[in-house]
Each structure stands twice: as C-alpha cells, then as structure tokens.
Amino acid sequence: MKIHNKPKLTLFHCLNSFKETASMFDGCEVKTVKMACSSMTKDVHLLRAFESGADAVLVLVCREKACRYAEGSIRAEKRVNYVKTILDDIGMDGKRLNIFNTSSKDSGSINDIIKKTLLELEIIGPNPALNHFN
C-alpha cells in the first residue's frame, strides 16, 4: 500500500542520542520530542503520538552502557515493547513503533533508520487510527 501524503513521524530522543538536521527528513513530516533521558518516554506519550497523527514513532536512545543515567535506555525499551503489544492488540501493527540505540555523532545511522521506517510505511500504510479520530 502506497502512502499518498507525506508520512508523519514522531521521534522521541535523548539529548545525547540525536542531533537534528533538516536533510534527514526529506520525504516526510517529523515532530521531534527532546528529553533529558530516554527513560522519560512514557507509554501514554507514545500512544498520544499516534492519536495525534503519527504514522510511525521512533524512540532514539543512547547506546548500551552509554546512558548517563545508567538504565534509561533499558527503561525506554521496556515501555516501547509494551506499547508495541498494545498496538498489535488493537490492530495498528506494532511495527509502527521502534526503538534504536544511536549516537548524536552518527547521523548516517539515523538517516538509515528514517529511510527504513519510510520504506516500512509504504508496506503497512498510513496510521489506521486517523479514520477513527477525524
């Protein structure tokens, strides 16, 4: 299924895991949510991103053992996995939500993550919840 409008992504990220550049977002609309630590990623915020129109949500966290708060990435991963199960249960497809260990210095990997997400959206299509909220 092809998406006719620009896909909408929401990126939650730790200040140390992502440095935004406009060229990363060619072909999509992006809302970024900066946090002091990825451990601040809450289930309700991830779900609200979809309710607000995101076709996919990405959570970018520090690389393993690089989190300045020791376990922020681990906490965020548990929450993301929980919300993925909710998305599957309600028929929205948990593939719309992903977490990645990144570094703000590695923009190439982040570009690849965004491109891969956009390709996945071409297969799974736009956010199906929008038909229910509009």
- Which sequence spans correspond to the domains of the chain? 8-133
pLDDT score of 96 more than 90:
yes
Candidate from 14-23, 25-34, 93-102 with smallest mean pLDDT = 14-23
Alpha-carbon distance 26 to 5, whole Å?
13
Given CATH 1.10.287, say whether it is the number of domain 8-133.
no
From the number of C-beta atoms within 10 Å of its C-beta (0-12, 13-18, 19+), residue 114 rates as buried
The predicted pLDDT at position 134 comes to: 44
Instruction: Give the integer Cα–Cα distance in Å for 111 and 131.
Output: 30
**Between 27 and 48, whose confidence is greater?**
48
Show the beta-strand stretches assigned E in the chain.
Answer: 8-14, 29-35, 56-62, 97-102
Question: Which is higher by pLDDT, 110 or 85?
Answer: 85
Q: pTM of the prediction?
A: 0.87
- Higher pLDDT pick, 116 / 132: 116
